[in-house]
Amino acid sequence: MSAVTPIDLPVDEEQKKTLTRGERKVENGFAKGTKRRLTSRGATIAALVIAVLWTIPTFGLFISSFRPANEVRTTGWWTIFSNFGLTIDNYVEVLGSGNSQLTLAGAFINSIAITLPATAIPLVIASLAAYAFAWMDFRGKNMLFIAVFALQIVPIQMALVPLLQLFSRGEIFGFPVITAFGSAGYAQVWIAHSIFALPLAIFLLHNFIAEIPAEVIEAARVDGAGHGQIFFRIVLPLTMPAIASFAIFQFLWVWNDLLVALIFADGAVAPMTKLLAEITGSRGQDWHLLTAGAFISILVPLLVFFSLQRYFVRGLLAGSTKG
């Protein structure tokens, strides 16, 4: 008997390379065709015009924040090219301004102390609740999810008075929450923001978690994994883009909030938005300080957005296509 030589292996490898190159050509052609269909020269020009019109006022405010107060009152920001003069006095003055209890520099620290927990708390609770609604079976699950979804349409203004009544007693449903955690005055703001954010957070995260293939969850269960292991090792990593996307929105909502701050964050725990409203004055006579304060307030949100931008884009695109 003659030995069989593996003469077919080079052919198979060459065929695989040919198929791979062909698949790449098809994918590249599909991507280019999709890009051509979704973009056009007119849309690009319109986007550029909108971007310029949106940026010019912001650029003017940025220039005004560095101009002396007298020049801000008498000339326009565009005269900076003929009457050049910049100063950081506006930023120094606005950081030291405020009321008898707090300066804007202290309010900046308060905004961080309020926003970080008010972003983390609803995300932790919402991710756990979303997993339970998506992959756990219990009585009344559908009705409870509908009730959570319906809470999104309740205006915040309607819940302010009941929350104030609960907080004034220092407890929620008999538990001394405010007394135990509210010595610094932040607990009631954290709880208020978390309550208002939970319905939407649960709904959005549930949609992402529910799209995880059931075969992945079933395979983990067959291997003996419990709900805790499935959540932390499988669901949480796959849902991280969606969590990061909602974290950006929640961070911006809490950081820029004024309504909840006016009601629940008073005195020495007031955030920047409340101090900026007071600095404005009744007629806005010190608006050169307001421009400097506004750019101080947007510094942290910009850092958060650009640091989480890649997760934000993934979260927006996740679930948009299947296959």
pLDDT value for 244: 85
What span, in angstroms and rounded, lies between the C-alpha atoms of 198 and 81? Answer: 49
Instruction: Give the residue, 305 or 300, on which the prediction is more confident.
Output: 300
Of the pLDDT bands very low, low, confident and very high (cuts 50, 70, 90), residue 179 is: low
> Any idea where the domains of the chain sit in the sequence?
15-92, 100-317
Confidence class of residue 112 from pLDDT cuts 50, 70 and 90?
very high
pLDDT of residue 130: 92
Whole-angstrom distance, CA of residue 15 vs CA of residue 12: 5
Q: Minimal CA–CA distance to 322: which of 205, 244, 212? A: 212
User: Does position 5 have pLDDT exceeding 50, yes or no?
Assistant: no
pLDDT value of position 226: 85
pLDDT digits (tens, 9 = 90+) for 73-86: 778 788 887 777 78
User: Can you name the residues that pair with 98 across neighbouring β-strands?
Assistant: 103
Average pLDDT score over the chain? 78
Quote the DSSP letter at residue 100.
Answer: S
For the record, the structure tokens of 238 come out as 């796959």
CA dist list (Å): 122 to 41, 203, 212, 250: 42, 12, 22, 9
Task: Give residue 69's pLDDT band: very low, low, confident or very high (50, 70, 90).
Answer: confident
Q: How far apart are CA 201 and CA 196, in angstroms?
A: 10
The pLDDT, as a whole number, for residue 121 is 94
Whether 120 has a pLDDT exceeding 90, the answer reads: yes
- Of 136, 155, 141, 151, give the one whose Cα is nearest residue 201: 151
Burial 282-301 (b: 16+ CB within 10 A, else e): eeeebbbbbbbbbbbbeebe
Asked if residue 30 has pLDDT above 60, the reply is no
Give the CATH number of domain 100-317: 1.10.3720.10
Q: Say which residue the tokens 């999709």 belong to.
A: 34
Q: How far apart are CA 214 and CA 149, in angstroms?
A: 23
**What average pLDDT does this structure show over 279-291?**
69
More confident residue, 317 or 107: 107
Which of 217, 214, 207 has the alpha carbon at shortest distance from 130? 207
- Tens digit of each residue's pLDDT (9 = 90 or more) over 132-163: 998 888 888 889 998 988 888 888 888 888 77
Instruction: Inform me whether the pLDDT recorded for 227 exceeds 50.
Output: yes
Alpha-carbon gap, residue 50 to 293, rounded angstroms: 26
pLDDT at 314 over 60: yes
Predicted model pTM = 0.74
pLDDT tens for each residue of 237-261:
888 888 888 888 899 899 999 888 8
pLDDT at position 315: 58
